[in-house]
Structure 1
Amino acid sequence: MRAQYLALGSALGSAIVLALAACSEKPAQAPDATASAPAAAGPEAAPGITVSDATVRLPAVPGNPGVAYFTIAQGSGAPRKVAAIHVDGVERAEMHESAMKNGVSTMGAVSEVALEPGKTVQFAPGGYHVMLFGLADTVKAGGTAELTVTLDNGDKVSVSAKVEGVGGGDAMGDHAMKM
């Protein structure tokens, strides 16, 4: 019985650390020149789909997963689905959804995210987000990484994502010392 409680405590502790490191809320900030702009139409661009406000947040502990957030909208046409996400400098990206079930916060992988004409879907803390596994040393706070969304029909939309440290800032995050 004691082993079960220890395993449950360990699992809860891990979930809390992951939630705080990867899915923490931060105050809204005004957009700046380095924040991602809506993806422009290109040779692989999906008609009517826009991706904006893309951010990659580095993990609190190197080697742990990072997270990506963005907003995606479908202007018109038949309903579509986000089928996959790719981020340059990342070994594997998985779409996840956080939710409250019976008073307990849960997080799990999802294979697709539905889009509807005229609607916007946010990948943000507390909801849909992209877990990033195996971040390369080249993905650094203050830089950018290309984020590519693949739709169910194979169309793709790419956007430059701002790379942030823990807490949404530079490499020191919100813990930078002031002198």
Structure 2
Amino acid sequence: MKQVIAAVALGLGGLSLSACGGEADTTVAEDTGIPGMSVENARMVLAPVAGNPAAVYFDLTYTGDKALALRKANVEQAGETMMHEFGEYDFKVQMMEMLPLVINSGDTVKFEPNSRHVMAMDVQEDLAPGDKVNVTLTVAGGKEFSFLADVRAAGEDR
């Protein structure tokens, strides 16, 4: 509940995070209860060392009627999933768990390298470049939006 209140406060304070995006590769999305939400350029980049976490990146666009607070993500083929972002603490930039993200109608939010992303831990060992993984985003209130992300090798374009 505290996270929802914090997310609403951020939105009311005019601090919602959004970025304008250019042309994306593909749109891969399912209608799973959040009208107006779409995802483009979805990809999971595997770690260079087997057993280390993978990162999921995508461009999320929302054109629905009312603001939402994105509160968690799940990667079906991972044991644990967290949303991360980079921030400053003790005069050092470091990765940290992301607070709920307020998304207003018309926003495009990028999950990209060196910024916000979904971290997938304990990824299934049989996942390989060229596969697809199912990613589900959950907003405050419990509605979910699922999409497929292309699996890429560590050295491929992120």
Provide TM-score, normalisation by structure 2.
0.77
Which amino acid letter does the alignment assign opposite residue 83 of structure 2? M
Residue 129 of structure 1 is matched in structure 2 by 117
Q: Does 1:158 align with 2:142?
A: no
2:111 and 2:155 map into 1 onto residues whose CA distance is: 17
Deviation for aligned residue 1:94: 0.3
Contact 1:97 1:107 in 2 (8 A): yes
1:163 and 1:153 map into 2 onto residues whose CA distance is: 30
Deviation for aligned residue 1:102: 7.8
Match of 1:116 among 101, 104, 117: 104
CA offset digits 1:133-154 (Å, max 9, x no partner) = 0001132111111111111121
Secondary structure of 2:52 counterpart: coil
Secondary structure of 1:117 counterpart: coil
Secondary structure of 2:128 counterpart: coil
Which has a greater percent of strand? 2
Contact 1:52 1:159 in 2 (8 A): no
2:36 and 2:145 map into 1 onto residues whose CA distance is: 10
Residues matched between the structures, number: 137
Secondary structure of 1:167 counterpart: coil
Consecutive aligned runs of 4 or more in structure 1 exceeding 2 Å deviation? 99-105
Which has a greater percent of helix? 1
Q: Percent identity?
A: 25
Q: 5+ residue gaps in structure 2?
A: 1-22
Match of 1:67 among 36, 52, 55: 55
Secondary structure of 2:155 counterpart: helix
1:70 and 1:100 map into 2 onto residues whose CA distance is: 23
Deviation for aligned residue 1:30: 7.3
Q: 5+ residue gaps in structure 1?
A: 1-28, 174-179
Deviation for aligned residue 1:104: 3.5
Which amino acid letter does the alignment assign opposite residue 47 of structure 2? P
Residue 6 of structure 1 is matched in structure 2 by none
Residue 39 of structure 2 is matched in structure 1 by 51
Q: Which has the higher contact order (CA 8 A, sep 6+)?
A: 2
RMSD, aligned CA: 2.4
User: Highest CA radius of gyration, 1 or 2?
Assistant: 1
Provide TM-score, normalisation by structure 1.
0.68
Which amino acid letter does the alignment assign opposite residue 131 of structure 2? G
